[in-house]
C-alpha cells in the first residue's frame, strides 16, 4: 500500500513545480523549446535535485507520448541512429556514477548547465553560416553528453541543440527529431531511475498530482505558438533560467567549497 505521507506537501515545492511543469509542457508543445530545461532547477530550489528529476520523469514520458503521435511522420532517422547509441552510453555513465555525486554536486552541475545554456543562447552568432551535415563522431559525442545531462537533470536539450541546430533542418523536422530522441532517452532512463529508487511511491504520487498540468501546458504551447511573438517570451524565460542557474551554482559551490 502507498503511504500518503510520502507525497510532498511543502507548498513552496508546488510554487516551483506548477510553473515548472507548465513551462515544460509549453516547450514540448512547440513554443520556446529551450525552456524544457527549467523544471528541475526550479524544483531543486526546494527538494533534492535527484528527487526533482525522479518526479519529472513520468510527466515527461506522458508529454513524449503526445509529441510522438503528433510528429510520428516528421523526424530525421539518420540523426537518431547516430545520436541514440551515444545517449544510452551517457545515461549508463550517469547511472553508474550517481552514487559518487552528492546532491550539492548535482546542484552545481545543473546550475552550470543552466548558466552555460543561457550564455550560449545570448552570445552565439553564426545564424547566416552554411548548414552543416550529419557527423557520426560529433553526433555520438553530443548524444552521449545529452544522455548524461538528461539523466542528471532532464537537461539534454543544450547538447542536442549544439549538434542539431547547425544542420538547419526544416523546423518541423527538427522538432520531430527532438521529440523522438528524448522519448527514447526518457524511456531508457526509467531503468537507472528505478534502480536509484527515484520512482518510489512518494515520488510517483507527487508526479500524479502534477500530471494533469502536462497536457494543459502542451495545449498552451500549441496556442502560444500561433498567437504570441516568441522573442519577448524567450527573453523572460532565459533570464529566469539564468537566475535560477546562478542560485543553484551558489548553493552547490557554497556547500562543497565553503561549507
pLDDT tens sequence across 179-197: 899 999 999 999 999 999 9
Give the Cβ contact number of residue 116 at 10 Å: 12
pTM: 0.83
Q: Where are the domains of the chain?
A: 7-258
Q: Assign residue 125 a region (left: φ > 0; alpha: ψ between -120 and 50; beta: otherwise).
A: beta
DSSP SS3 for 165:
helix
- Give the chain's radius of gyration (CA, Å): 17
24-71 confidence digits (pLDDT tens): 988 887 776 667 778 888 898 899 888 999 999 999 999 999 889 988
Give the Cβ contact number of residue 93 at 10 Å: 14
197-240 confidence digits (pLDDT tens): 999 999 999 999 999 999 999 888 878 767 777 677 667 767 87
Amino acid at each position: 500500500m502507498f503511504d500518503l505521507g510520502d507525497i510532498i506537501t511543502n507548498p513552496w515545492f508546488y510554487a516551483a513545480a506548477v510553473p515548472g511543469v507548465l513551462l515544460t509542457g509549453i516547450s514540448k508543445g512547440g513554443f520556446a523549446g529551450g525552456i524544457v530545461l527549467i523544471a528541475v532547477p526550479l524544483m531543486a530550489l526546494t527538494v533534492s535535485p535527484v528527487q526533482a528529476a525522479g518526479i519529472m520523469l513520468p510527466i515527461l514520458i506522458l508529454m513524449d507520448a503526445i509529441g510522438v503521435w503528433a510528429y510520428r511522420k516528421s523526424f530525421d532517422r539518420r540523426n537518431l541512429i547516430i545520436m541514440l547509441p551515444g545517449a544510452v552510453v551517457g545515461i549508463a555513465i550517469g547511472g553508474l556514477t550517481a552514487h559518487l555525486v552528492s546532491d550539492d554536486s548535482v546542484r552545481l552541475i545543473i546550475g552550470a548547465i543552466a548558466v552555460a545554456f543561457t550564455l550560449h543562447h545570448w552570445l552565439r552568432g553564426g545564424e547566416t553560416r552554411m548548414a552543416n551535415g550529419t557527423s557520426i563522431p560529433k553526433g555520438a559525442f553530443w548524444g552521449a553528453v545529452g544522455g548524461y545531462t538528461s539523466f542528471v537533470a532532464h537537461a539534454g536539450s543544450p547538447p542536442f541543440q549544439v549538434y542539431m541546430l547547425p544542420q538547419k533542418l526544416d523546423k518541423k523536422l527538427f522538432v520531430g527529431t527532438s521529440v523522438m530522441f528524448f522519448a527514447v532517452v526518457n524511456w531508457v532512463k526509467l531503468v537507472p531511475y528505478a534502480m536509484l529508487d527515484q520512482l518510489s511511491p512518494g515520488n510517483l504520487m507527487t508526479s500524479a498530482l502534477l500530471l494533469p498540468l502536462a497536457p494543459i501546458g502542451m495545449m498552451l504551447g500549441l496556442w502560444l505558438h500561433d498567437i504570441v511573438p516568441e522573442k519577448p517570451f524567450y527573453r523572460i524565460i532565459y533570464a529566469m533560467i539564468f537566475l535560477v542557474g546562478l542560485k543553484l551554482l551558489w548553493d552547490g559551490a557554497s556547500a562543497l567549497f565553503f561549507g
